[in-house]
Amino acid sequence: MLNASIVLYKHTPSEIKPLVETLRKAKNVSTVFLVDNSPAHNSEFEKMEAEYIFNNKNLGYGTAHNIAIRKTLAQNIPYHLIVNPDISFEAEILERIENFLNENAEIAHLMPKILYPNGEIQYLCKLLPTPFDLIFRRFLSKKWTKKRTEKFEMRKSGYDKIMNVPYLSGSFMFLRAEALRDVGLFDERFFMYPEDIDLTRRLHAKYRTVFYPDAEIIHNHAQASYKNTKMLYIHIVNMIKYFNKWGWIFDKERKEINKKLWTSISYK
C-alpha cells in the first residue's frame, strides 16, 4: 500500500487530471495528495479523488512534498510515491514495483526507467556530482563536456539492468517509509533542484537506492532552468547550498561511492 503526492504550482485541473486518474486506478494506492504551492486556491482540485492541500505560498518542492510524507508516516503506510505532474505511466507498474520492494527489504528508493515521449531514454542515473557537474558544465559547450557527461550519467551501464545508484531523479521517487523515518525527509533548506540528490544520497548511505528498468514511465521533461533566467538563478543558489553542506572539492564520501560505482559498471 502507498500514498502519492504531486506538488502543484499554477497548474490547471486539466493538466493534473490524467495523472490523478492513473493513480486512482492502481489497486495499491491509498491517498493521492495534491500539495498546491500556487498563489491562488483552486476549488476544482477539491472535486478530484484526492486530498487537496493549499499552502497559500510557494514553499518549494521538497518542503511541499514533506507535508504529504508526514501524513504517510502518521498513517503507517509502508510506501510513498513522489511524482511530478508531467509524468504518465500504466497504473499496474505501481503494484509491480511494490511487489519487488516487498521482496527486497534493503531497498529504500526505486526509480524506474524514464523515457521521453518519443521513447528515448532519459539518462537520470548519476554519480554523486562535483561542482563542475552541476554548475560549471552547463555554461560550456556540450562538445567539450560530452565524455564527462556520459560518465556522470552512467551511460556505459546500458540502462538495461538493476543498479544501485547514489543519485536518482526526483521526478518519480518510490520511497520506503521506514527508511525515511530513519534518515529523514527532504532537507527543507533547498527550495528546488538538489533535494532529490541530497535525499537519495542519505538513503544510499544506509540502504540500496535502485534503478529498476523492468518498469517504464514517460516524463515530458521541461528543464526549466535552461530556459528561464529566474529558474537558473534558483538552480545555482540551491546548488551552492548543496555543496556547502556536502563539500565542494573535498568530499571523501562522494569519492568513495563514485569509485565503487565506476568499478561495478566497468569504468576505467
Return the domain boundaries, the chain: 2-264
Which CATH number describes the domain made up of 2-264? 3.90.550.10
The SS3 assignment for 107 reads strand
pTM of the full structure = 0.92
The SS3 assignment for 168 reads strand
Q: Which long-range contacts (CB under 8 A, 24 or more apart) does 48-54 make?
A: 48/13, 48/16, 48/17, 48/20, 49/20, 49/24, 50/20
pLDDT for the residue 223: 53
Q: Which residues of 61-77 are buried (b: 16+ CB within 10 A; e: fewer)?
A: bbbbbbbbbebbbeeeb
pLDDT for the residue 140: 60
**Residue with C-alpha cell 524514464?**
114
pLDDT in 10s for each residue of the chain, 268 residues: 999 999 999 999 999 999 999 999 999 999 999 999 999 999 999 999 999 999 999 999 999 999 999 999 999 999 999 999 999 999 999 999 999 999 999 999 999 999 999 999 999 999 999 988 876 666 566 666 788 889 999 999 999 999 999 999 999 999 999 999 999 999 999 988 899 999 999 999 999 999 999 999 999 866 544 457 788 888 889 888 989 999 898 889 999 999 888 777 754 3
pLDDT for the residue 264: 75
DSSP conformational letter for 138: G
